[in-house]
Structure 1
Amino acid sequence: MRYQLDGLDCAACAAKLEQELRRVKGLEQAVINFAAGSLEAPPEMLAAAREVIARVEPGVRLLEPTGDAVAGEGTREEGEREGEEDGRNLYLIVIAALLLVPGLIFNEWLHRTPYSWAEYGILLTAYLLVGWPVIRAAGRNLIRGRFFDETFLMTIATTGAIAIHQLPEAVGVMLFYAVGEYFQGRAVNRSRRSIAALLDIRPQYANLKLNGETKQVRPEEVAVGQTIVIKPGEKVPLDGEVLEGVSFVDTAALTGESVPRKVEKGEGILAGMVNGQGLLTVKVTRPFAESSVARILDLVEHAAARKAPTEQFITAFSRYYTPAVVLGALALALIPPLVLPGATFATWIYRALVLLVISCPCALVVSIPLGYFGGIGAASRQGVLVKGASFLDALSALHTVVFDKTGTLTRGVFRVSQVVPYNGFSQEELLATAAAAEVYSNHPIAQSIREAYGGEIAPDQVQDYQEIPGHGIQAVVGGRRVLAGNDRLLHREDIPHEICNVAGTGVHVVIDGVFAGYIVIADEVKPDARAAIAGLRELGVKQVVLLTGDEEAVARRVAADLGLDTYFAELLPEDKVARVEALQAALPDRRRQKLAFVGDGINDAPVITRADIGVAMGGLGSDAAIEAADVVLMEDAPSRLATAVRIARHTGLIVRQNVVLALSIKAFFLVLGAFGVATIWEAVFADVGVALAAIFNATRTLRYKDPHW
């Protein structure tokens, strides 16, 4: 269950809180998502989680599950609280700055007069106005045995400055630290609100039609099979089938596609779409918890909790980095005065304080998860759901992409192009028997055969229906045993036949052990498929492969048409897994290079799970494939995979920029401070400036838009 955390404004605090929660039995898998301000924990451990939060971070509140509130309501309330808190903090910063100015100007003059108490009165007041929250947090952490955090560094640095009579610099450290925290908080909150607005596609009500009357109810209260009315301009609240009406719907929230889509009687419609000008009457086909919009919200909100390797490294790095810096500062303060002639403790303590100020790892700890969170948000806005930051990293390192054929690279809309009877059977008998045998199948090929037949099929004339995975089906139709499937089915059943390969997808039909003929099914390549392959080639993907259960002739034709590197045909689900494993083993650098598999059918779920990055087509794909996938393309356009790769690389570039920026500038000023060139003022400007630059740079990921769309 996911809960909202109110008041969690410190990335380092979030990491420590998560660490403490995981020490409690039953909360070992607890995950804190700082970018989203949420906690994932079992409902039965809620009381234990609250106890840990109260002990570790008393200022943080655990709110009710985010899914139970009306969309936007929690965001508005949280925004109001954040506005009040920002106003109060800004007020204190302004007062402290106004006190610092005269204290700084008259500092030396007051110090040499009997009125030196005024110096302390003015500057210590300014110091406490902006520094008291830091001092209080440091004291609270010391009591709990937590010494090495940013509040500890700030408190030690500023109290040391006061001790050596550098009051303006002590106030400056706290003031600029407060300014940095203020802007950092605003940047994080703005990113959270941007994601919340991006995900504000959750419908707040449904117009339920009962006994000729319509009333507004919560979408969760509508059952499968009930009828709802969707008025012009309203969000579609649940997945369903249109019973009456014709309209155009805006699918941008789900697919990123800006062109409205026409829906009419008999067609499906998904929750989260926005109705245009027509009035629609819809039969609900899924409960709200399983609707498209609910799945999108769940996938995106969970995504940032899955940390990328870079995030994990920075979290571990900051855990060791801060103690190392504190020990280094202590050594810098004590050793040189003892071994260098003429060195004074005041000089080297001051340099040690500079070292402490510049050492805060805030720029890395906050900006990196914020960058990944923004990348996930940008992808979802363009119709690509990435289920975790780790998969963004993997997408940027694609070497091989493996595609399924039907429904992925091809339309999956089959048409019967030829009916070829054998052994005395007529075309009409062959087609009618095949249509009856396929009456219970949902496969596109079966649907195309039934559509070509066009007549009524009485279900009671079909018995003993059975699907044979990777081969076809068998059934008893009107007392006759019928087989319908591919050439492998004929060989499996030892059926004598004169033709094995046909030009297209062939469905061979056997009636009472006699080969009755075959039906040729034509499937068209998606126009978008060529753009998908071209986009991947442009991005440097080295190998594009086709895996299909279809016949070799069909696979060869599609591979040649799209310019694929290679193909493997007539594969069972387990064969696809074996092929993907072989392709993974053949990668030149298995550690750094990744393989993605793109599919849409239920039979693709095993291989989607086995690939480094499993990609599902979310528009028409099966639930099993979507659940198994790491990336979901909400529009049935394979070229969106190239969009996802571009976003992943853009995000990775920004994350690397922040790492290099923060570490290089901090290293530079650490050296300057150690040699006495940099003062505390410069250290504060460098620390706060780097943190703000990294945070604002990270928010660029959220605004990314694929130039190819």
Structure 2
Amino acid sequence: MNGKIKRGKIRSKDIKSIAKDTKNISFKVKKRLLLDGLCCANCAAKIEDKVSKLNGVASASVNFVSKTLTMEIEEEDKVSELIAATKQIVTNIEPDVTVKEKEVAKSNKFVLLLDGLCCANCAAKIERETQSLPEVMSAIVDFVSKRLIIELQDAKNKVSVTEDVKKIVKRIEPHVNVIVESSNRNSSVNNKEDEKDDNKKELIKLGIGGAIFAVATIFNFSFDLELLLYLISYVLVGGEVVLRALKNIARGQVFDENFLMGIATIGAFAIGEFPEGVAVMLFYQVGELFQDIAVNRSRKSIAALMDIRPDYANLLVNGVEQKVWPEDVNIGDVILVKPGEKVPLDGMVIEGNSVLDTSALTGESIPREVATGDEVLSGTINKNGVLTIKVTKDFGESTVAKILDLVQNASSKKAPTENFITKFARYYTPVVVFSALALALLPPLLIPGATFSQWIYRALVFLVVSCPCALVVSIPLGFFGGIGGASKNGVLVKGGNYLEALNNVEVVVFDKTGTLTKGIFKVTDVKPVYGVSKDELLEYAASAESHSSHPIATSIIREYGKDINRNSIENYNEVSGHGIKVKINGVKVLVGNEKLMSSERISFTSPETAGTVVHVALDGKYAGYIIISDEIKEDSAKAIKELKEIGVKKTVMLTGDSAFVGEKVGKELGIDKIFAELLPHEKVEKIEEINAQKSSRGKLVFVGDGINDAPVLARADVGIAMGGVGSDAAIEAADVVIMTDEPSKIVTAIKVAKKTKSIVIQNIVFAFGVKLIIMILGAFGVATMWEAVFGDVGVAIIAVLNAMRAMRID
């Protein structure tokens, strides 16, 4: 598909009418700014407070850990003006902090596709040499997706580094093409066609070589003719392997699988074992072909699990529908989504109603109904009606793009097991080669009656079986399969290192609000005292909370339900962890928790209730309280129970709520330890205390809403954010994101991690076990080259197929 293709006029409302309707529907534009140099948490809170008060800003949140300011702007035409105002606020509070668009921070990272890469050992060499380039900060080869992810010190060096990488790849793997990754889907189609053509050519070559080998073996020819037929067969079947080995040796790359197979089969010819030399190479090449097919199918299976990327968008321009790339659509554009199509970008429905299949994002099969005014996320599938959507985010900032980026780059954060195997393979092959050399030379010299031909053959068997590819290929594939399987079930894991860490979870610490409870607050009672009515008490509280975006504040404002005169509000001061001090029409108003009342020396009454109590004082006198209730999530108790069943030793809840509320919720759910009335910094201190009490090998997991819990999420061994879909802060702060807002998915994540680790261990034990047995048998003359080739390619194929089980959740 090239360019834009007209598809005919829209049959629904005229586009002008649609555009007119959109004026009556408000939607927010999200912007993320990097606060480079921010190192003061108190200043971060001040910046957040002042930016959130700007006229036109619906909400503002500073993630101190990632130094990111996330803003929701009510009108798209005010974006530039409000960003400029935000920069001025930051300069006033922290003059040394530089404000940048968040995308700038990502510009130093780019991706190269290694088309044709099929050797995991060579991938490790490419990664190692790229990392050694002076301009490169980090380089990771994702063997599963054939991607080389490079982070530079300076983006200006991208071209020169790309050229250096091409030279490295050409030296290590000459047949691999280095391509700068782009969004062009035609390239992936061509790659698939190339793979099919390569497989056909390889099969034809192996078929002809195999046929000549069969003729030489079945019929009795003279020695010279027989040798000629075996040589022709060998050149057809294994000539490419020997040629690669020679080229690699010339470039200083000696110890690889081409060298091992080349020296083993040529050695067989040297000692007169012509049929075995050809047969072993034929068996090896057939095995390698099947291994490549298995790995490619595995890659496609994982890609299919995460196939949520939309291929196109139906853009409406002057009433005409045009099929375009999602990247070509801008904020404010209007798109059409028909039944059966994926929603290509985040936006708001401005016409139509339908049912959306959200399973690709959340793993849940329950459809979601949407109508005019509802927000929709990219990656979901429209099931029946036609939807007209006004776009609120560029494709690069959309939900589907963030999830794809997160999952695709998960392989760059390797598990300790992966790193160990990569380092092990680096030293393992040279050790085996020199051991084989000793096996070939020492016994004939030291053992009476031993012949060189006999022990050379045994050494060749030793060489053939030694290749570490079964491990180097199957282990990253297992971790990536586990990440893919978790993502299909609504759990995003940011790397194999976090997946492996989830195997040793000893303590799970929960935030309460929005994590174990729904976080949907509702005023259930208003209790005035001493000469103030219910309506007056609620009015004072709503006016005081009018500048806050906290769920409790929102519930009070919603219950009041009237317009608030903001001109009557003076000297607004939000005290972190306590509440609000403000003057309203000259009256000094305090709205907050018990700590605020105590610090201001207000005599008050605190009721015994399961809800959250908000106290109100007017001019130094207690005026009453408001009770706000939050509902426990349906599966919270089930999650706690199942965590204990799978081996979690301790569950803890941290909350800023009252001790009575915290104890009631904690006991109802069966949580072991409850800490209540905590300020944000006290939560971090508690995490430190709990962390000091666990075993050295055990891991501490913190589960929060990903918005207000960034410092605690960052301190835990594994931070899990709840309700991640559409939440920038959750995806930024956490190591694992639960996209369905269900605590029970934590159990799913741990089960996936345990299954993945189990499969990885199985592959390590199986591969090493088989290889060790064949090496020992080969050294004693029992195993032949046939068993040795099975110990190489046969074991690799079985290990790859076993690794793919990680994608399935039992």
Shorter-chain TM band: over 0.9
Residue correspondence of structure 1 range 22-421 to structure 2 within 5 A: 22-42=131-151, 44=158, 45-66=161-182, 68-70=183-185, 73-106=186-219, 109-110=220-221, 115-209=222-316, 215-421=322-528
Alignment-derived partner of residue 433 in structure 1: 540
Q: 1:82 to 1:459 in 2, by over 3 A?
A: farther
Q: Post-superposition shift, 1:64?
A: 2.9
Structure 2 residue 799 is the aligned partner of structure 1 residue 684: no
Distance 2:393 2:590 in 1: 34
Q: Post-superposition shift, 1:504?
A: 1.4
| Structure 1 residues 27-83: Cα deviation after superposition (integer angstroms, max 9, x where no partner) | 2401110011101114613233223222332211122324x334xx44332221111
Distance 2:391 2:339 in 1: 18
Distance 1:458 1:4 in 2: 58
Which residue of the other structure, out of 123, 126, 129, is the alignment partner of 1:17? 126
Distance 2:692 2:376 in 1: 42
Distance 1:195 1:76 in 2: 17
Alignment-derived partner of residue 572 in structure 1: 679
| Structure 1 residues 352-394: Cα deviation after superposition (integer angstroms, max 9, x where no partner) | 1111111111111111111111111111111111111111111
Contact 1:203 1:272 in 2 (8 A): yes
Q: Post-superposition shift, 1:208?
A: 4.1
Amino acid at match of 1:628: A
Structure 2 residue 717 is the aligned partner of structure 1 residue 612: yes
Q: 1:541 to 1:122 in 2, by over 3 A?
A: same
Contact 1:75 1:193 in 2 (8 A): no
Distance 1:208 1:657 in 2: 50
Q: Secondary structure of the residue that 1:258 maps to in structure 2?
A: coil
Alignment-derived partner of residue 497 in structure 1: 604
TM-score by length of 1: 0.94
Structure 2 residue 769 is the aligned partner of structure 1 residue 654: no
Moved more, 411-420 or 441-450: 441-450
Distance 1:476 1:625 in 2: 35
Which residue of the other structure, out of 590, 604, 618, is the alignment partner of 2:696? 590
Q: Secondary structure of the residue that 2:635 maps to in structure 1?
A: helix
Q: Post-superposition shift, 1:206?
A: 3.2
Q: Post-superposition shift, 1:98?
A: 1.5
Alignment-derived partner of residue 111 in structure 2: 2
Distance 2:592 2:170 in 1: 64
Q: 1:240 to 1:569 in 2, by over 3 A?
A: farther
Q: Secondary structure of the residue that 1:603 maps to in structure 2?
A: coil
Amino acid at match of 1:37: K
Q: 1:205 to 1:459 in 2, by over 3 A?
A: farther
Contact 1:600 1:621 in 2 (8 A): no
| Structure 1 residues 313-354: Cα deviation after superposition (integer angstroms, max 9, x where no partner) | 111111111111111111111111111111111111111111
Contact 2:359 2:380 in 1 (8 A): yes
Contact 1:396 1:649 in 2 (8 A): yes
Q: Secondary structure of the residue that 1:537 maps to in structure 2?
A: helix
Contact 2:521 2:629 in 1 (8 A): yes
Q: Post-superposition shift, 1:564?
A: 0.7
Which residue of the other structure, out of 514, 522, 531, is the alignment partner of 2:638? 531
Moved more, 498-507 or 324-333: 498-507
Amino acid at match of 1:289: G
Distance 2:225 2:474 in 1: 41
Alignment-derived partner of residue 809 in structure 2: 705
Moved more, 376-385 or 241-250: 241-250
Q: 1:218 to 1:685 in 2, by over 3 A?
A: closer
Q: Post-superposition shift, 1:88?
A: 1.2
Contact 2:140 2:149 in 1 (8 A): yes
Distance 2:619 2:248 in 1: 81
Distance 1:238 1:466 in 2: 39
Q: Post-superposition shift, 1:212?
A: 5.8
Distance 2:452 2:228 in 1: 27
| Structure 1 residues 448-498: Cα deviation after superposition (integer angstroms, max 9, x where no partner) | 112211112244444554443322334443444433222222223333323
| Structure 1 residues 142-172: Cα deviation after superposition (integer angstroms, max 9, x where no partner) | 1122221111111111111111111111112
Q: 1:208 to 1:548 in 2, by over 3 A?
A: farther
Contact 2:706 2:731 in 1 (8 A): no
| Structure 1 residues 252-287: Cα deviation after superposition (integer angstroms, max 9, x where no partner) | 010000110122344332111112223334343333
Distance 1:621 1:612 in 2: 24
Distance 1:682 1:394 in 2: 37
Q: Secondary structure of the residue that 2:524 maps to in structure 1?
A: strand
Amino acid at match of 1:705: I
Q: 1:175 to 1:458 in 2, by over 3 A?
A: farther
Structure 2 residue 768 is the aligned partner of structure 1 residue 663: yes
Q: Post-superposition shift, 1:529?
A: 1.0
Q: Secondary structure of the residue that 2:589 maps to in structure 1?
A: strand
Q: Secondary structure of the residue that 2:481 maps to in structure 1?
A: helix
Q: Which runs of 5+ in 1 are unaligned?
A: none
Q: Secondary structure of the residue that 1:527 maps to in structure 2?
A: coil
Distance 2:767 2:131 in 1: 30
Contact 2:706 2:733 in 1 (8 A): no
Query: How many equivalent pairs are there?
Result: 694
Distance 2:731 2:580 in 1: 25
Alignment-derived partner of residue 580 in structure 2: 473
Amino acid at match of 1:97: G
Contact 1:608 1:625 in 2 (8 A): no
Q: Which runs of 5+ in 2 are unaligned?
A: 1-109
RMSD: 2.0
Amino acid at match of 1:454: G
Contact 1:238 1:271 in 2 (8 A): yes
Q: Post-superposition shift, 1:240?
A: 2.7
Q: 1:567 to 1:244 in 2, by over 3 A?
A: farther
TM-score by length of 2: 0.82
Identity %: 53
Q: Secondary structure of the residue that 1:509 maps to in structure 2?
A: strand
Q: 1:516 to 1:77 in 2, by over 3 A?
A: farther
Contact 2:339 2:384 in 1 (8 A): yes
Q: Post-superposition shift, 1:214?
A: 5.1
Alignment-derived partner of residue 746 in structure 2: 641
Distance 1:410 1:51 in 2: 56
| Structure 1 residues 425-461: Cα deviation after superposition (integer angstroms, max 9, x where no partner) | 2110111222222223222212211221111224444
Q: Post-superposition shift, 1:291?
A: 1.6
Q: 1:105 to 1:682 in 2, by over 3 A?
A: farther
